[in-house]
Each structure stands twice: as structure tokens, then as C-alpha cells.
Amino acid sequence: MTRNQYQIKISLKNSEPKIWRRIIVNSDILLIDLHYIIQTTMGWDNYHGFQYKKNKEIYGIPSRDDWYTVHDIRKTKLGSLLQKEKQKLEYEYDFGDSWKHEIILEKILEYDQNEQIPRCIAGKMNCPPEDCGGIWGYDDLVRIMEGPQNKAYREMIDWIGEFDPEHFNMEEINIKLKNKF
């Protein structure tokens, strides 16, 4: 397999306005490493379980307790699942809150060893805080945080502190990626 770089877009499903990141990764990256990159670029804290899905196949860390076949993400490369532009993969984080993400291969790029890889090149909106109840809980949180007149506002401030749903800092994300990878 030729080594390329992939421009992929990761979008949090059912978010409105859409929460997304556009990143560049190597095509031969293992799915376990892509998980850590997603965690960093989206702003998650890696507290929960996760898996990928492609054509009804599950990719994760296999366990003796699995009721179905789970392909090992420590041995599966992104390029083995996405080979053509516009192909998609689903990433689910936190099975309780069920944060489902669509990963789409937007562009296949020539390998460039002079670029920081991985890197974030675009995005919108802040990532929801951990354990806020999935997309519906997040929508409630955003509504509550709109003003101190809301009864639950003080509770939310005590729990998560100040929260700006529109915050996105690509430079900060790329510094974290550079320090971790």
C-alpha cells in the first residue's frame, strides 16, 4: 500500500450547529492512534469506551466477553478501511452518552514529511463536556448556559465552569497534537 496522507473530516452526528474538525493524518495510521487523535482534536478526555463501525463490522479492542466479532484496532490501519475519497467510517465514543461521529475521507494527499502530522486544519464549535448526557443533554446544557436567570445555571457553572459552545482554537489543538504525537 502506498503511503499517503488523508484529509478527513470528523463531524459529531446530530449536533446543531455542526461540531466538526478537519485533520490530516497518515493513511497507514492504526485505528487506535486515530482514536487518540480524535480525542485530542475534538476535546474529549478519553474516559470512556469507543468503537468504529464500517459496513456493519465493528472495530475496537477485542475481549473474551464480546458477543460478536470485533476487529482489533491495534492491528487495523485507516487505509485498509478508507481507500477512496468520500468513503465513511463511524466512530462512537462513550456508549452511555453515545457520541457518534462521522469520519469521511475528503482528500488523498501525497505524503509530505515536512508537515506536522497529525494536524488540524479547520473546525467549528466546542466539544461537549464529558458526561453531559449525549447530544440531547448537551442541547439542554447550552440552553441553560445562555444566562444566569436559568435556575440550573449555577449548578452548571459549579460542574463545568464557564463554557462557550462556539469556542474553537486550532492553534491550541495543534500544539497538543505536536506534544502527543
Give the pLDDT confidence of 5-25 residue by residue, as tens digits: 999 999 999 999 999 999 999
Are 39 and 151 spatial neighbours (Cβ–Cβ below 8 Å)?
A: no
Any idea which architecture 4-127+167-180 has in CATH?
Roll (3.10)
In this structure, the number of other CB atoms found within 10 A of the CB of residue 97 comes to 19
Residue 36 φ then ψ, to 5° = -65, -35
Give the pLDDT confidence of 32-76 residue by residue, as tens digits: 999 999 999 999 999 999 999 999 999 999 999 989 999 999 999
String of DSSP letters for 9-65: EEEETT-SSPPEEEEEEETT-BHHHHHHHHHHHHT--S-S-EEEEETTEEEE---TT
User: Per-domain residue ranges for the chain?
Assistant: 4-127+167-180
